[in-house]
């Protein structure tokens, strides 16, 4: 006598699993590119902060402009008002605050991004 679980009629669990997997893939396709873009802009800003003592980058306005160009290339909603660069005798500081809108399937998520970078001037 065969057991009820051995008849092969358990398709519901497989269907639910496939639906959950599909939702995960769609969400990943929407979130991962934005996270990569945010990380690229942060790495770029860190690189500029490290170069802040070199002659072409002694102007804070130039650092802001280059970060803004990189953010626009990455399609991030960053404006000049979102970027602050200042320095003291020994360090340079870069601060960025902006909000990325993630269009998820059933809702919109507002991701508040904040970067605080400080590097020593040589």
% of residues, the chain, pLDDT over 70 = 92
Please compute the mean of the pLDDT values over residues 22-42 and round it to a whole number: 94
Whether 105 contacts 24, CB under 8 Å:
no
- Residue 67 neighbours by CB distance under 10 Å: 24
pLDDT band at 1 (very low <50, low <70, confident <90, very high): low
Please compute the mean of the pLDDT values over residues 9-13 and round it to a whole number: 74
Please state, rounded to an integer, the average pLDDT across all residues of the chain.
Answer: 90
Stated pTM of the model: 0.82
Judge whether residue 7 has pLDDT over 70.
no
Q: Which of 104, 88, 92, 82 is nearest to 30 (CA)?
A: 104
CA–CA distance, 61 with 67 (Å, rounded to integer): 10
The predicted-structure confidence for 46-86, as pLDDT tens digits, reads as follows 999 999 988 888 889 999 999 999 999 999 999 999 999 99
């Amino acid at each position: 006598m065969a057991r009820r679980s051995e008849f092969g009629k358990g398709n519901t669990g497989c269907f639910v699993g496939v639906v959950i997997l599909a939702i995960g893939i769609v969400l990943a396709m929407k979130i991962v590119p934005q996270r990569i873009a945010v990380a690229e802009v942060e790495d770029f800003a860190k690189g500029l902060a490290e170069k802040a003592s070199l002659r072409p980058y002694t102007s804070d306005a130039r650092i802001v402009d280059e970060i803004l160009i990189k953010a626009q290339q990455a399609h991030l909603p960053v404006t000049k008002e979102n970027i602050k660069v200042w320095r003291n005798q020994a360090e340079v500081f870069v601060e960025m605050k902006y909000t990325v809108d993630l269009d998820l399937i059933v809702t919109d998520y507002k991701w508040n991004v904040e970067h605080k970078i400080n590097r020593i001037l040589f």
